Amino acid sequence: MSRGTVSIDVERCKDCDLCVQACPPKVLEMSAEVNEMGYRFPVLHDGCTGCTACQLVCPDYVFQVYRFDVAPDEPHPPGQAAAPDG
């Protein structure tokens, strides 16, 4: 169950891996594909707590962090979370 989620601007990522290391629940993982610059980028799995650790350590400012005040009923699909509206 995710109490939070993130949006990831994959084209800005430079595959430095700092977010993956900093994520307390270890729900970020580097993709297999590469972005336009040839860099891999993070993919979010279920279990995000919205703690903002990834946003704090990202040198390329790719993360926006959201919290669900009430946990959503179904686990959100692995892979990059779509940017929630609003």
Q: Which residues bind other proteins (CB under 8 A)?
A: 4-5, 9, 12, 14-18, 20-22, 34, 37-39, 50, 52-53, 55-73, 84, 86
d(CA 86, CA 79): 21
The distance of closest approach from Cβ of residue 77 to other proteins in the complex, given in angstroms and rounded to an integer, is: 15
Q: Do residues 83 and 7 make contact, with C-beta atoms less than 8 angstroms apart?
A: yes
The first and second tokens of residue 6, run together, are: 């993130």
d(CA 54, CA 64): 9
Nearer to other proteins, 78 or 82 (CB): 82
The distance of closest approach from Cβ of residue 56 to other proteins in the complex, given in angstroms and rounded to an integer, is: 4
